[in-house]
Amino acid sequence: MKFFNFHTHKFTNHVDVLELVNQYPQEFDATIPFYSIGIHPWYIVEDRVETDLAIIESKLQEKNCLAVGECGLDKRIEIPLELQQLVFEKQLLLAQKYNKAVVIHCVAAFQEVIDTKKRLNISVPMIIHGYSKNTQLAKQLLDNGFYISFGKYLLRNPELESVFTSIPNNRFFLETDTVEENIDAVYNLAAKYKGVNLEEIQKQISSNFQAVFKTDLI
């Protein structure tokens, strides 16, 4: 594999790309080779939470399930934050139990996510996906043990260049999420911003992948 796409909602089955495809408990596609599975805060259905968690737990025991998520907290939706917090915590505890990384969705709730990690003493890797905020917040996240993944906003917002270049090489991932561009476009821009060639970015992501997912698939 030449590329690792940390977070995507569409499986392209490209020979050069290992894709961590986002899956939901009620819409699971067993043909996807590698995936994360979780309850996104947007799609919490209160009377279905335990059923969804049971499905997630069963999938976490499969080798090709690489992570829990995306899951997290979002203050800009109608679903009560208290319910979001409960569902988030239960998923983090499952990730800890099965030693899986976590793909984090966070909107306007970064302090709450940091506090939750500390309070529950979560030691598995937690990766903030689709980062779009400033260098100061990025440093706070890094200082608290998080990894940060860049994609859509890196492609769309030139002001993120300085944020991205401030991230230590061993603490970032790259993704496409829902954009039309392929992952190589994100890699090429990342290489440009870091002032290295594409191969160096590929090597770095491969190293980061091995550190977080404890395997050498790429």
Known binding-site residues for a divalent metal cation equal 70, 105, 129, 177
Strand partners, 35: 21, 65
Strand partners, 187: none
As a dihedral over the C-alpha atoms of residue 116, residue 63, residue 131, residue 188, rounded to 10 degrees, the angle is: 160
Q: Which amino acid does the sequence have at 75? A: K
Q: Count other Cβ atoms within 10 Å, centred on residue 44.
A: 19
Q: What radius of gyration do the chain's Cα atoms show?
A: 16
Binding-site residues: 70, 105, 129, 177
Helix axes 110-120, 81-98, angle to 10 degrees: 40
Tokens 């961590």 belong to 20
